[in-house]
A = this chain, B = another copy of it.
């Protein structure tokens, strides 16, 4: 893990589909060197994968919310496990701070979102409080 690895990572963060050849050109080295470094970064778990960045509203998900969940301490894990089952829950974190669990949730519209929150997620055993923050705009 050196300076060159970090530069590779930054290039792949910017464009996850950049070819090894292009990275090599930018960094002034050979394609095979880059490829071997990337493979090592993948094996070490530094690079966990690659993904497309999707505009949720363009595929019909008009409500995206960062939602905090407060749980009873002993139900914490089971709540997280239940939440993970919902395909609307796109990302899920455990955290300190105001809420023990934070989730990124996608819904088609406000109606579907509130239905999801009140009638589905809200019914999970052990949840004490749900604090949704609907994202208006992604600046960065």
Closest chain B residue, CB of each to CB of A104: B140
Given A16-B16, A92-B140, A99-B133, verify A46-B66 contact (CB < 8 Å).
no
Q: Which of A22-76 contact B (CB under 8 A)?
A: 44-55, 58-59, 65-66, 68
| Complex contacts, A90 vs chain B, CB 8 Å | 140
Binary interface encoding of chain A residues 1-20 relative to chain B, with 1 for a CB under 8 A from any of its CBs, else 0: 10000100100111111000
Task: State A124–B12 Cα separation when bound (angstroms).
Answer: 31
Binary interface encoding of chain A residues 110-140 relative to chain B, with 1 for a CB under 8 A from any of its CBs, else 0: 0000000000000000000001111111111
Task: State A140–B93 Cα separation when bound (angstroms).
Answer: 7
Interface check A78, CB cutoff 8 A:
no
| Complex contacts, A132 vs chain B, CB 8 Å | 97
Task: State A12–B52 Cα separation when bound (angstroms).
Answer: 5
Q: Is the CB of B93 within 8 A of A136?
A: yes
Task: State A44–B51 Cα separation when bound (angstroms).
Answer: 18
Task: State A36–B45 Cα separation when bound (angstroms).
Answer: 32
Q: Is the CB of B17 within 8 A of A50?
A: yes
Closest chain B residue, CB of each to CB of A19: B17
Q: Is the CB of A14 within 8 A of B91?
A: no
Q: Is the CB of A55 within 8 A of B45?
A: yes
Q: Is the CB of B136 within 8 A of A91?
A: no
A139, chain B: closest CB distance, angstroms? 4
